[in-house]
Amino acid sequence: MDPLLRPWMPDDAPIILAAAGEPLMERQFAARIDSLAAAEEWIDLLTTRRHADSAYSFAVLHEGVPAGNVTVSGVERRHLTGWISYWTREEARGRGLATRACRAVAEFAFAELGLFRLELAHRLDNPASCRVATAAGFLTEGVERARLLYDGVRYDTETHARLATD
């Protein structure tokens, strides 16, 4: 495993709690994380998903401290596909961590999980995420109109994919 990545550990709960409280992070967690107990539950959920072979989440390390997350989820064995998502804490943005983590988790998914196709998407109003995707070798495949609904507003997304043969 790339030294940039490691599985989340129970001791990381304070970092998750802090990350969940940052602006721009409100949609990165499926459940509200507003306490250490909620952060611990989130980490437990990641462990459960790993054991179920449905998702693999990793802390993205900066100077040995978790500064973000990268996940391959939606692991589908019939077609050997997965879905990539990523985020970094505010102080870690702009350092190339998300791009390096996205590349590393793609290599993990291809080499260790045996997946063939990885997909990701970002809102069209998130050019930083687009830069991460393209720099990590994910080719643009198209726009999905009105794909996401947040607070009563629909958002278009741009889909990217990377194949094991790319």
In the block, which residue shows the tokens 């409280």? 21
Residues of the chain with pLDDT under 50: none
pLDDT given for residue 1 in this prediction: 54
pLDDT by residue (tens digit) across 106-135? 999 999 999 999 999 999 999 999 999 999
**What's the rounded Cα separation, in Å, for the pair 49 and 44?**
9
pLDDT given for residue 84 in this prediction: 98
Specify the pTM: 0.94
pLDDT given for residue 29 in this prediction: 83
